[in-house]
Amino acid sequence: MPKAILSVYDKTGLVELASGLVQMGWDLVASGGTARLLSHNHLPVIDVSAYTSSPEVLSGRVKTLHPAIHAGILSQDREEDRAELSELGWDKIDLVVVNLYPFERTIAKPEVTFADAIENIDIGGVTLIRAAAKNHERAVLVCDPGDYPEVLEYIRQGGVPAEVRKQLAIKGFMVTYQYDQAIHAYLSGSACESLRIYPILPLRYGENPHQEAALYGYGVHETPLGGKILQGKELSYNNILDLDAAWRAVTNFTDTSVVIVKHLSPCGIASASRLVDAYQSALACDPVSAYGGIVACNVPLDKETALEIRKLFVECVICPGFSSPVMEILAEKKNCRLLEMPDLEITPQYEYRSVNRGILKQTIDRGDPSEVNWQVVSKKVPDDAQWLALRFAWKACQHIKSNAIVFAKGTVTVGIGGGQPNRVDCVRMAAQRAGEKAIGAVMASDAFFPFPDSIEIAKEAGISAVIHPGGSIRDKDAVEAADRAGMAMVTTGVRHFRH
């Protein structure tokens, strides 16, 4: 009869798996709490100590570390191995079901002691995983309860295919790799943090055709940005960058909002009570740049907005949901990628960037902690309409490449400038794109004004109020320029560089 050894801490799905194996005539060998659970559910099981004729020792810390177990797992399908096992009175083991003590969960507890952490370093389980993974050409390893149903079904159909056994083995080595990394990081201190990434998607090329590229994620079963691709061509390297920029921006707004991104730069941001109005306003900010861009919505796409998007060539649309009628409308744009997101969460709460021979890490910028440090520094105080526009513009400018400048009216951007080495050119860019729409608008800047020239250019464009971090040794000059122009000026005390 085929034989399985079961030794698990997480007992999710265990009884169902074991029941299925018993129904197909398998013998079960189990240890400790695993054996007790199976017996409690009236399943025939051989205790490890009975199978090995060796008692569990050291309060159960040594159970499966026995030649009868590991020879059975590591034996190959050849006559000499079978003969040796038979002479010793041992059997080959065909299936290894195992998972590990929760070391990472243990050390995450605030009250954890060093002794508790050390006690939760699994030895026998890791050895079982490595043995079965090494001999995956014959034995089957299952170290993830999520794989139980699939493996059970394969066994019912006659056996687990070689490629599936290999993938299960790869997962096993990954589990032990992560486990050892966590132990190493704990014992070495947080300064020795390890970065774990896993391949998600091979890409045709990078930013340009002569560059190789691939997408990696922080989890084994991740999808692009955590979303689901519903239609369109395969995602490119540039698509993924733009989708990420658009999604990070649009999820920072609580009202119904649309962000249009081109080459990593938002070219239109708008909030409105109706999604179609937000889309049309975002598009109107810079319709030339929007061509071939990315559209992001923080609410499910509706028919009316889909009909408007269909009029424009866009590379991708990303939002929390696409209904069947919306899908029918956008199906005509066969090359347009649709990425459906499961929620509005941005995870993890940090980001990495590669540099020569190293990696930078920082927490993500999700805006000001509060408005507690905001100050009106000008003689003129913003009115209600200006306050609404200033708050919106301030949030919008956080997603523009530095030196970021946003002109806004209400909850709509009317001009955007960014990505230039000096702030004055960015103000000129925003003014040029806004044209007459700049008259009466407000201006947000991601960092302080080192000279009053930007304020003077904003005055010429028709800006009525300004918001910026402040903190320059020449803040007084900027305030005086605002007062001369009759502008309201607010400082926030928080900078939002985005390089």
State the residue for tokens 């000008």.
378
DSSP designation for 236: P
Kind of pairing, strands 412-417 and 375-376?
Answer: unpaired
Which residue of the set 134, 171, 233, 380 is catalytic? 134
DSSP designation for 322: B
DSSP designation for 271: E
Rounding to the nearest 10 degrees, give the CA dihedral for residues 275, 280, 282, 288: 150
Which residue of the set 3, 11, 263, 380 is catalytic? 263
Spell out the residues 6+ positions from residue 499 whose beta carbon is closer than 8 angstroms to its own: 401, 402
State the residue for tokens 């003689």.
379
- The CA distance from 63 to 57, in Å, is 7
DSSP designation for 457: H
Instruction: Please name the amino acid found at residue 73.
Output: I
Kind of pairing, strands 257-262 and 293-297?
Answer: antiparallel
Cβ burial of 178 (10 Å; 0-12, 13-18, 19+) is: middle
- The CA distance from 122 to 347, in Å, is 29
Count of other CB atoms within 10 angstroms of residue 342: 12
Handedness of CA 373, 378, 383, 388 (dihedral sign): negative
Question: What is the distance, to the nearest Å, from the Cα of residue 31 to the centroid of all Cα atoms in its chain?
Answer: 37
Kind of pairing, strands 314-319 and 465-468?
Answer: unpaired
DSSP designation for 438: G
- The CA distance from 359 to 147, in Å, is 34
Q: What b-and-e string marks burial along 237-250, b requiring 16 or more CB atoms within 10 Å of the CB? A: bbbbebbbbbbbbb
DSSP designation for 57: B
Q: Among 176, 173, 219, 177, which residue's Cα sits nearest to residue 200?
A: 219
Q: Is 63 one of the annotated active-site residues of the chain?
A: no
- The CA distance from 107 to 293, in Å, is 45
- The CA distance from 409 to 441, in Å, is 5
Q: Is 395 one of the annotated active-site residues of the chain?
A: no
Q: Among 222, 243, 228, 201, which residue's Cα sits nearest to residue 340?
A: 228
For residue 101, what are its two tokens? 């003590």
For residue 159, what are its two tokens? 């056996």
Cβ burial of 169 (10 Å; 0-12, 13-18, 19+) is: buried
State the residue for tokens 């999520």.
146
How long a stretch of residues is the chain?
499
Which residues carry out catalysis? Answer: 134, 263
